[in-house]
Amino acid sequence: MNIGILGVTGYGGSVLYQLMQQHPHVDTIYLYGNPDKPAQKLSEVVDQFYLEDTMITPFDVTTVCQQVDCLFSATSAGVAKELLEPLFKEGFPIIDLSGDFRLTSEASYQKWYNKPHAHLDGSVPVTYGLTEFTTDYTTYIANPGCYATATLLGLAPLAQEKKLDPNFIVVDAKSGVSGAGKSLSTSSHFSFIDENLWPYKLNQHQHIPEIMNQLKKWDEHIPAIQFTTTLVPLHRGLMATMYVKLNQEMTQVQLDHLFEQTYQTTPFVHYLNRIPSLKEVVGTNHCVIGAVLNETTQIVTIVSVIDNLLKGAAGQAIQNFNQMFGFEETLALPVFAQLP
């Protein structure tokens, strides 16, 4: 089959292009860019693709429909809802790495993204593609955000069993600089972030509402979470550390068993009887989780680590693609961490 990528020049789009070139069921990859700019070679835009003669052509709905069977959109927030609405309404297969359709409420989108939401009539359903917990797919997949992925996978076993004190969920998440995208900003300057830590968007990060939407599906009694994000001087990688209080007494053995049971058949989510480090997942599509119970306070510390560009973006998008079209879930996805 043929696929298209809109937004290949960003970090997520570039990683997606690299991986999909290795997919055994993909014949041709078409690249699309700004509809108002002329076509150009990928090698002229992304230095790392200096051997690539593939052209990035202006995005055009008719051309996309003629050339590809599925479109990946790896643009920044606000672009997809403007360009893809005709495809969306026609039921064309789309996997969207942006946050444009993760939230169904116009008011919520306006609040968290500071942009107007696309005006859809609700007749076209959207799949929130948290792959380990998604079984039914529509033609439009909203790929979860990186912070949301790590957090939800860490909380899922306890939330689904309604074992959380709904008023005591604290998330302290840290991400490398690539999570902010390729656009230049003060916070991504070397002189700012090198040997520095920067907490930002405390309780204001745009991934919070999608986390809450999913948590409420698992346990409607959860009213809110305390959520802190911190930028750390790393290229890539994300660690979400969660502190939760149990609403019923458990032992460490019972806690381990619950997590192991939840993820025993998942190829990319793994529970360890120890706390993982970030380097165990960088360069892979894995999410590795560890949890430690304080049996005196019944407070659990959960650590969930992912590569923000893979499991947090392009990798999960490919997982969704594989599941959507009935391919083996692990195809084209890296499983070995970068060494050293």
Q: Which residues contact 268 (CB under 8 A, 6 or more apart)?
A: 131, 132, 285, 286, 287, 311, 315, 319, 329, 330, 333
Query: Strand pairing of 299-306 and 287-294?
Result: antiparallel
Distance CA 9, CA 173 (A): 26
Active-site annotation holds for 146: yes
266: number of Cβ within 10 Å: 16
What's phi and psi for 38, nearest 5 deg?
Answer: -70, 165
Distance CA 78, CA 113 (A): 9
Distance CA 318, CA 325 (A): 11
**Alpha-carbon torsion (261, 262, 265, 268), positive or negative:** negative
How far is CA 285 from its chain centroid? 11
Distance CA 135, CA 218 (A): 15
Catalytic residue among 65, 70, 146, 287: 146
Contact, 61 vs 87, CB < 8 A?
Answer: yes
* 58 SS3 class: strand
55: number of Cβ within 10 Å: 15
Return the DSSP state at 280. G
Distance CA 188, CA 181 (A): 9
* Ramachandran sector of residue 233 (left: φ over 0; alpha: ψ -120 to 50; beta: rest): beta
User: Counting beta carbons within 10 angstroms of the beta carbon of residue 76, is it exposed (0 to 12), middle (13 to 18) or buried (19 or more)?
Assistant: middle
Residues with a known catalytic role: 146
